[in-house]
Chain A
Amino acid sequence: MKLTTRKIVITAVLAAISILLGVTRLGYIPVPNVAGNATIMGVPVYIGAVLEGWPVGLILGFIFGLSSFLGATVPMFKDPIVSILPRLLIGITPYLAYIAVRKKNEILAYGLAGLVGSVSNTVFVVGAIILRGYFTFHQMLVVIPQAIAEAILSVILTVAVCAAWNRVQIGSGRSKISNVTD
């Protein structure tokens, strides 16, 4: 794993955003059910994977997991097997999704990376919770609203940030006010 200065610094600033979203609670969107909040703290991981490749995704996944472990106030997330281990993978899956599709359509590839990242985060973490015996599969179904909210937000954010950064046009390239006339 060879890291360039650029990869190091981009990983670091994205990690800083992930941590900031966590400690300020801005990364949480309250969802009214027992499973608590939907979170966008994973988004820096997916963006890092798209912009700089899987090693950056792997490191960001680890840092996200670590900060989720350190900051957790919920017993099952104070278990490294639930909070850290699954996160090692969530920067790799979006990268694979991105390279698979980017030749066809860059924007689609960003969106897919966001979607795959978010879904793998949900699946792997929930899987770890079930494996560790905290809850059963059926009980874990309550997280579905969170999972959907997270997936949508991940797609929007990954597309918006990656497209702006790589200067790729999104959609028609027309602003809302262009659709009306004077």
Chain B
Amino acid sequence: MAEDFELLRYITIGQYLPGESIVHRLDPAVKLLSAIIVILTVAFLNAYLPNITAFVLILGLVALSGVPIGYGLSGLRPAIWFIFALLILELLFSPVKGVVLWSYSFLHISQYSLRLTVTSLLRLIDFILLISVFTLTTRTNDVTRAMERVSKPLQYLKIPTRELALIMTIALRFVPTFAMEMERLMKAQASRGGGLTKVAKWNIVAQARARLPLVIPLFLIALRRAEDLVVAMESRGYVPNQKRTMYREYHLAVRDWVALAVVVVVSAGLILI
């Protein structure tokens, strides 16, 4: 197995797909709120009809956004066999409820397990597509600011939403930086005769042990950087839990209100059918 040190390859955060579709132009907060509503709705759908309806509607949304469907689902590719195995397990081993459709020794396919398998597959695809559409049509800085705006009402519950959004911003900002740091750690480890590829894939103990010299220094590097960043932020006048303006101004257009209304009505409809 060849060694691979190019970790940035895996960092797809902020992979924005430029475009002019209606989905691109919607206010990011409206998109985020809609995504949350739809995800929560779909998570509670059990019957075939609403699940299939939701699936079709989401396919429509993908078409509307101009995101190529293969690109949207690309995250699934490496896990495809695992998912397949899991679905088979679910189909054969789920609790037996309703009419048994097929059985062989201790294996049973019941109405319940068939429905569970089909709906969980649909739900998986639904969510992956929804999340892809949202992240591919929204820039990272708009995403974190949308989180901030959507969670604003939670301030009344004494939840520090602006600070939470800042945490997300800083976290996303540092993921690629830490990836490069990790790259260097892996190269240093390999240079000193160690490394992940040196140990057998299924040797759990060796696999785990090879990770310690990478992960422990990474934590310490991260914490040291945090100390510096605290000083830098305070130098720039940051005080938590205090009123701050927002660089970007957002104004909801008619299309945003319409989109939100459509989402709410469709979700309510899905729950009722």
Contact = CB atoms under 8 A, between A and B. Distances in A.
Establish whether A and B are touching in the complex (CB under 8 Å): yes
Interface of A: 1-6, 8-17, 19-21, 23-26, 29-32, 34, 36, 38, 40, 43-44, 47, 51, 59, 63, 70-76, 78-81, 133-136, 139, 149, 152-153, 156-157, 160-161, 164-165
Interface stretch (B58-66, B204-212, B256-264): B204-212
Interface stretch (B47-55, B162-170, B244-252, B265-273): B162-170
B170 A9 contact: yes
A11 B43 contact: no
B174 A149 contact: no
Contact of A1 (B95, B160, B178, B212): B160
Interface of B: 7, 10-13, 39-40, 43, 75-76, 78-79, 82-83, 85-87, 89-90, 93-95, 116, 120-121, 123-124, 127-128, 131, 158-160, 163-164, 166-175, 178-179, 182, 196, 201-202, 204, 207-208, 211-212, 214-216, 218-220, 222-223, 225-226, 229-230, 233-234, 238-241
Contacts of A164: 216, 220
30 contacts: A2-B240, A5-B230, A8-B163, A8-B170, A12-B174, A13-B178, A13-B223, A13-B226, A17-B222, A19-B172, A20-B175, A23-B12, A24-B10, A24-B179, A26-B196, A47-B219, A51-B223, A63-B171, A73-B124, A74-B79, A74-B124, A75-B87, A76-B120, A78-B124, A80-B43, A81-B43, A134-B90, A136-B95, A157-B219, A161-B216
B75 A134 contact: no
Contacts of B86: 34, 74-75
Contacts of B169: 12
Nearest to A44: B219
